[in-house]
C-alpha cells in the first residue's frame, strides 16, 4: 500500500523547483535541446508546459531543426525574453501579452488555445471564514503581477462588486505566494493550475471562486517579430505550432498517460497532475487568432489601462499575426467539456 504523503510534502517539490527557476527574465535552465539541423528555434516554456506535452505525445521526433528550451516561472518574464530576442516563441496565459504590449515590447501572438477557466481560482485556507468573493474586502490577496491570475482577480472582484482598491494586493511569484499562503501570511491566493490542484489535493485550501464565466480561458504562443521576419525561423515556428496542436489533442485522449509524464517532469505528485489535467489541460482546443479573440484581449488591456497598471492604451490588434490560423475553428468555440 502506498504511503500517503503529508500535505506539506505534496507542496514541496514544485515550490523548490520554481525557486530554482527564479523570477526574473533569466531562464532557469535553457540547456535542453531537441532535434537536429543548422537552425535553432529558441523556445520559452513554463515547467510542465510545451516541452513536456510535446515529448509525451511523441511530437519531438523527426525535427529537422533544433529546439533549445528555456524555462520560466510565469508568463511576464518569458515575454521579457521574447522582447529581448533571447527567445523566439513561448507559451503564456491571456494577460502577459497585454502587459508586454503596454510596455512597448516587441511581441506577436501567433497561436491560441481555448480551455475552461475552472483551474484559475482564488484560493483560501481551509479554516478561512471567507465563503464568498464579496468578503475579500480589506483582505490580503497574493497574485503574480501581469499574470493571467492578475486579470482573473480583477474580473472576479468586479463580479462581486469590488475593485483592486478594496483588497490588499501582494504581488508575488508563485513559489513565494505558495509559501505566503501556506504559512498564513495572506488571506487568499489568485492562481492557476497546477497550483490550484496542488493546494486542493494537499488539503491546504479550498476554492473561493474561479475564473469560469468571468475570464476568456485563452492561452497563447507568442513570438518575437524578428523571428517571424526570418523565413527559415517562420517555417520552423509553423511546424512547431502544428506539433503543439496535435499534442494538445493527444492530451485529451491520453489524460492519465500525460499526467504521469507531467508529474515526472515537474516533481508534482501524480494525483495533483491528474487533477490539473482533468480540470484544465484536457479542456484545451486549438483556435484561430481572430477578431473576437482580439476584442476579448482588448477588454483586458482596457481594464488594466483604466487601473493605471498599464501606462498607455494598447491596440491589441497591433500585436497579432494571423498567418498560422490555417483552418482552425473560431476562438469562441466552446472548450472541451463545455456546451
pLDDT tens for each residue of 169-216: 999 998 999 999 999 999 999 999 889 999 999 999 999 999 988 999
Between CA 276 and CA 256 the distance in angstroms is 11
Query: Does pLDDT of 1 surpass 70?
Result: no
Mean pLDDT (the chain, rounded):
88
pLDDT digits (tens, 9 = 90+) for 114-130: 999 998 999 999 999 99
Which residues make beta-bridge pairs with 206?
A: 124
CB count in 10 Å sphere of residue 128: 16
> For the domain 121-210, what is the CATH code?
3.40.190.10
147 Ramachandran zone, left/alpha/beta (phi>0; psi -120 to 50):
beta
C-beta of residue 81 within 8 angstroms of C-beta of residue 215:
no
Query: Confidence class of residue 30 from pLDDT cuts 50, 70 and 90?
Result: very low
Note the pLDDT of residue 147: 86
Note the pLDDT of residue 47: 76
Helices (H) and strands (E) in the chain — how many of each?
12, 12
Between CA 303 and CA 154 the distance in angstroms is 9
pLDDT digits (tens, 9 = 90+) for 15-25: 333 322 333 33
- In sequence order, what are the residues at sequence separation of 6 or more whose Cβ sits closer than 8 angstroms to the Cβ of residue 282? 251, 252, 255, 258, 336, 337
Over residues 271-297, mean pLDDT: 93
Q: Could you tell me the sign of the dihedral formed by the alpha carbons of 1, 277, 133, 91, in that order?
A: positive
Query: Does pLDDT of 148 surpass 90?
Result: no
Q: What does the domain layout of the chain look like in residue ranges? A: 24-116+217-319, 121-210
> Do the domains at 24-116+217-319 and 121-210 have one common CATH topology?
yes
- Going through 155-205 in order, the beta strands assigned E by DSSP cover 168-171, 188-191
- 186 exposure class (CB count in 10 Å sphere: 0-12, 13-18, 19+): buried
Note the pLDDT of residue 2: 31
| Vertex 112 angle, CA 111 and 116, to 5° | 165
Using alpha carbons only, how large is the chain's radius of gyration in Å? 19
CATH architecture, range 24-116+217-319: 3-Layer(aba) Sandwich (3.40)
Query: Does pLDDT of 280 surpass 70?
Result: yes
Residue ranges of alpha helices (H) inside 206-266 are 225-229, 231-253, 255-266
Amino acid at each position: 500500500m502506498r504511503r500517503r504523503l503529508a500535505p506539506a510534502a505534496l507542496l514541496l517539490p514544485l515550490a523548490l523547483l520554481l525557486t530554482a527557476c527564479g523570477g526574473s527574465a533569466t531562464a532557469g535552465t535553457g540547456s535542453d535541446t531537441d532535434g537536429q539541423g543548422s537552425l535553432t528555434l529558441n523556445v520559452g516554456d513554463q515547467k510542465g508546459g510545451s516541452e513536456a506535452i510535446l515529448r509525451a505525445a511523441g511530437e519531438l521526433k523527426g525535427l529537422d531543426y533544433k529546439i533549445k528550451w528555456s524555462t520560466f516561472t510565469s508568463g511576464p518574464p518569458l515575454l521579457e525574453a521574447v522582447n529581448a530576442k533571447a527567445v523566439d516563441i513561448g507559451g503564456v496565459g491571456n494577460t502577459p501579452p497585454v502587459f508586454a504590449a503596454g510596455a512597448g515590447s516587441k511581441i506577436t501572438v501567433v497561436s491560441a488555445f481555448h480551455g475552461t477557466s475552472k483551474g484559475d481560482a482564488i484560493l483560501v485556507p481551509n479554516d478561512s471564514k471567507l465563503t464568498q468573493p464579496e468578503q475579500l474586502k480589506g483582505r490580503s490577496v497574493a497574485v503574480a503581477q501581469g499574470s493571467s491570475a492578475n486579470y482573473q482577480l480583477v474580473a472576479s472582484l468586479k463580479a462581486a462588486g469590488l475593485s483592486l482598491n478594496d483588497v490588499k494586493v501582494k504581488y508575488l511569484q508563485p513559489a513565494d505566494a505558495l509559501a505566503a499562503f501556506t504559512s498564513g501570511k495572506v488571506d487568499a491566493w489568485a492562481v492557476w493550475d497546477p497550483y490550484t490542484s496542488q493546494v486542493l489535493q494537499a488539503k491546504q485550501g479550498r476554492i473561493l471562486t474561479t475564473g469560469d464565466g468571468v475570464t476568456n480561458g485563452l492561452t497563447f504562443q507568442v513570438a518575437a517579430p524578428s523571428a517571424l521576419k526570418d523565413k527559415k525561423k517562420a517555417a520552423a515556428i509553423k511546424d512547431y505550432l502544428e506539433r503543439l496542436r496535435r499534442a494538445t489533442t493527444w492530451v485529451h485522449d491520453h489524460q492519465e498517460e500525460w499526467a504521469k509524464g507531467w508529474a515526472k517532469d515537474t516533481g508534482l505528485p501524480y494525483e495533483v497532475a491528474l487533477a490539473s489535467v482533468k480540470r484544465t489541460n484536457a479542456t484545451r482546443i486549438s483556435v484561430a487568432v481572430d477578431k473576437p479573440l482580439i476584442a476579448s484581449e482588448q477588454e483586458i488591456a482596457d481594464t488594466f489601462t483604466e487601473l493605471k497598471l498599464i501606462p498607455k492604451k494598447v491596440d491589441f490588434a497591433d500585436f497579432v499575426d494571423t498567418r498560422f490560423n490555417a483552418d482552425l475553428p473560431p476562438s469562441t468555440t466552446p472548450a472541451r467539456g463545455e456546451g
